[in-house]
Amino acid sequence: MAKLNDLTLAEARDGLAAGDFSAVELAEDCIAAMEAARDLNLFITETPEIARERAAQSDARRAAGGAHGAMDGIPIAVKDLFCTEGVLTTAASHILDGFHPPYESTVSQNLIDAGAVMLGKTNLDEFAMGSANMTSYYGPVKNPWVGAAGEDLVPGGSSGGSVAAVAANVCPGSTGTDTGGSIRQPASLCGVVGLKPTYGRCSRWGIVAFASSLDQAGPFARTVRDSAIMLKAMAGHDPKDSTSAPVEVPDFEAAITGDVKGLRVGIPKEYTLDGMPAEIQALWDRGAEWLKQQGAEIVPVSLPHTKYALPAYYIVAPAEASSNLARYDGVRYGLRVDGDSLDEMYENTRGAGFGAEVRRRVMIGTYVLSAGYYDAYYVKAQQVRTKILNEFKQTFADVDVLLTPTAPNAAFPIGAKMDDPVAMYLNDIFTVPANMAGLPGISVPAGLDADGLPLGLQIVAKPFDEETMFRAADALERAAEFTAKPKYLGGQGG
């Protein structure tokens, strides 16, 4: 019999409901898979005791006839950017050494309330700054997929541990955050479904901030249906986050009707890049064809300001980050490296506490906000952002969703692109525009490249229209029939 950790979230839900197995049994298999997969460096903190305790509580609820719904008893991994009460929370940074928050983030609390069972806190790029999970103080995460020559690959980033845990069948779902593509790009590189909802759909309260106007939480799962189930449990208005939207959370799973007849799918011509691998272009064309065959209407569209999205993003995000990270000063929590004066203590603490990529972005952000540069960089970037937003608005008058590649490449070897930050930043070229405009986007595994590595396609939808996004993503998923599995599965190397 297959291990329970191999089940999809919906299968696990149905099995729990049918009494085929208990939440404790499910959790034990996932814990075993987590421990077996330690070579992948997925978790910064494993919390098997919490998992067992919550699983037992779930079983008790179910026995009493009071199960909380689809997520009750489902094991999940939580990106270590979400503050979890009493559990070490690091943002993969040395500077948060020993930080045990006395509070639980709203999203992870929502998941607890829904009955989800936390296995542990997953590795990530330091403060979510990276596209390869190479900047973590706790070391890189290995992609469960391996290169043609057997070389270790990056899982993408920044949510590297969360995505790889789902790809490696450690658990059926995990949480991520997406500031410029940190859910969708790794989902593409690891062959799982990852989505960023509309900005404001999930509360940011209790999530270590990277760039406040861009950060959004979202789920990883192995199917579109699973990600719809999990998002429902994560989302909701939170009065503690002023940017959280006071809107109802629909039943996303119910939106997956299998019917995309008449759906207008925009293909933005500017997403065709010079030098993009032919197989990605081919996959994109195939994706459009799949939707067309199911009755969708393919509409060529133009988003001319797209090319400015990435440069503008690399002004806005570091600007906000430079300010958001000012609180890590050694005064109240985390690392402190003493000095002879207050300023020296700051310099010592932050110099030792932040890694190179974080320091780079703090420097960039500080620079673009400085007197004399503010108008040329920050103000200009915000103007670009407004243009991008308006362009999307106009385009969405004519189409219901957009179809694009998720990333311009498949997973690459650990250590590649490390000498050129801009080459690394280009990994987010297709995902960043949705963050700049606050739109929901989902990556669905759609095929393999010549080396047998997964590639994703992205569906971007209108604000708060995740339902249409899920409907289109489901149609892609069914047509793609993506069944390939990574080498490391359930922690067992093939």
Partner 1 sequence: MTYLIQGDTGDWEVVIGLEVHAQVSSEAKLFSGSPTAFGAEPNTQVSLVDAAMPGMLPVINKFCVEQAVKTGLGLQAAINLHSVFERKNYFYADLPQGYQISQYQHPIVGEGTVILDMPDGTSREIGIERLHMEQDAGKSMHDQDPKRSFIDLNRAGVCLMEIVSKPDLRSPEEAGVFVRKLRSILRYLGTCDGNMEQGSMRADVNVSVRHPGETEYRTRAEIKNVNSVRFIMQAIEVEAARQVETWEAGDEVVQETRLFDPDRAETRSMRAKEFAHDYRYFPDPDLLPVDLDQAFVDGIAAALPELPDAKKERFIADFGLSAYDAGVLVADRETAAFFENVAEGRDAKQAANWLTTNLFGALNAAGKDIAESPVSAAQLGELLDLMADATISGRIAKDVFEEMFETSKDPGAIVEEKGLKQITDTGAIEAAVDQVINDNPGQADEVRGGNDKAIGWFVGQVMKATQGKANPQMVNQLLRDKLKG
* C-beta separation of 397 from 262 below 8 A: no
Closest CA to 345 of 334, 355, 356: 334
Provide the minimum distance between the beta carbon of 149 and partner 1 in the complex, in angstroms, as a whole number. 41
**Least Cβ distance, residue 45 to partner 1 (angstroms):** 15
Do 449 and 443 touch, CB atoms closer than 8 A?
no
**Of 205, 290, 308, 470, the one binding partner 1 by CB under 8 A:** 205
Give φ, ψ of 410 to 5 degrees: -85, 180
State the Cα–Cα distance between residues 279 and 447, nearest whole angstrom. 9
Binding segment (CB under 8 A) for partner 1, from list 67-75, 109-117, 229-237, 366-374: 366-374
Nearer to partner 1, 252 or 378 (CB): 378
**Interaction between residue 341 and partner 1 (CB under 8 A):** no
In which element (H, E) is residue 450 found? none
Q: How far is CA 425 from CA 92, 237, 404, 452, in A?
A: 19, 32, 18, 24
The piece of 99-107, 423-431, 449-457, 468-476 that touches partner 1 (CB under 8 A) is: 99-107
Which residue is it, tokens 């799973």?
A: 253
Residue 209 near partner 1 by CB under 8 A: yes
346 scored as a contact of partner 1 (CB under 8 A): yes
Count of residues of this chain found to bind partner 1 when the rule CB under 8 A is applied: 44
CB of 318 to partner 1, least distance (A): 12
Is position 212 an interface residue for partner 1 (rule: CB under 8 A)? yes
Stretch that binds partner 1, among 226-234, 293-301, 342-350, 457-465 (CB under 8 A): 342-350
- Give the interface segment with partner 1, choosing from 331-339, 351-359, 399-407, 424-432 (CB under 8 A): 331-339
By beta-carbon proximity to partner 1, the closer residue of 21 and 333 is: 333
Sequence letter at residue 453: L
Residue 359, interface with partner 1 (CB under 8 A)? Answer: no
420 bridge partner residues: none
One of 189, 211, 439, 489 touching partner 1 (CB under 8 A): 211
User: Does 420 interact with partner 1 (rule: CB under 8 A)?
Assistant: no
85 lies in the binding site for partner 1 (CB under 8 A)? no
Segment near partner 1 (CB under 8 A); pick from 155-163, 279-287, 303-311, 315-323: 315-323
Active site (catalytic) residues: 79, 158, 182
Of positions 15, 53, 99, 416, contacts partner 1 by CB under 8 A: 99
Asked if 149 is part of the footprint of partner 1 (rule: CB under 8 A), the reply reads: no
Pairing of β 488-489 and β 441-448: unpaired
Kindly tell me which of 85 and 152 has the beta carbon lying closer to partner 1: 85
89 binds partner 1 (CB under 8 A): yes
Separation of alpha carbons 26 and 218, rounded Å: 23
Q: Is 57 in the site for partner 1 (CB under 8 A)?
A: no
The pair phi, psi for residue 301, each rounded to 5°, is -130, 165
Of these, 2, 17, 282, 326, which contacts partner 1 (CB under 8 A)? Answer: 326
Question: How far is residue 248's CA from residue 181's CA, in Å, rounded to a whole number?
Answer: 25
Q: Is 409 in the site for partner 1 (CB under 8 A)?
A: no
Stretches 60-68, 340-348, 417-425, 427-435: which one binds partner 1 (CB under 8 A)?
Answer: 340-348
Instruction: Please state, in angstroms and rounded to a whole number, the distance separating the CA atoms of residues 208 and 127.
Output: 7
96 part of the interface to partner 1, by CB under 8 A: yes
Cα 456 to Cα 185: distance, rounded to the nearest angstrom: 8
The whole-angstrom separation of Cα 484 and Cα 454 is 8
Query: Toward partner 1, which CB reaches closer, 212 or 468?
Result: 212
Q: Which of 29, 80, 320, 477 touches partner 1 (CB under 8 A)?
A: 320
The answer to the question of residue 370 lying near partner 1 (CB under 8 A) is: yes
Residue 329: CB minimum distance to partner 1, A: 6
Q: Which is nearer to partner 1, 53 or 85 (CB)?
A: 85
Q: Does 21 bind partner 1 (CB under 8 A)?
A: no
The closest alpha carbon to 176, from 147, 153, 155, belongs to 155
Burial (CB < 10 A; 0-12, 13-18, 19+), residue 487, is middle
Q: At what angle do helices 224-234 and 9-18 cross, to 10 degrees?
A: 70
Q: End-to-end CA distance of the chain, in Å? A: 18
Chosen residue from 16, 31, 70, 101 binding partner 1 by CB under 8 A = 101
- At 272, the amino acid letter reads T
Chain centroid to CA 418: 21
Is there a contact between 24 and 56 (Cβ–Cβ < 8 Å)?
A: yes
Check residue 331 for interaction with partner 1 (CB under 8 A). yes
91 sits near partner 1 (criterion: CB under 8 A): yes
Phi, psi of 384 (to 5 degrees): -60, -40
Residue 38 touching partner 1 (CB under 8 A): no
CA atoms within 13 A on the CB side of 164: 35
Residue 366 touching partner 1 (CB under 8 A)? yes
Minimum CB separation from partner 1 for residue 331, in Å?
5
User: Strand, helix or coil at 292?
Assistant: helix
DSSP state string for 372-416: TTTIIIIIHHHHHHHHHHHHHHHHTTT-SEEEEES-SS---BTTT
Applying CB under 8 A, which residues contact partner 1?
82-83, 89, 91, 96, 99, 101-103, 105, 204-209, 211-213, 239-243, 319-320, 322-323, 325-327, 329, 331-333, 342-343, 346, 366, 369-371, 374, 378
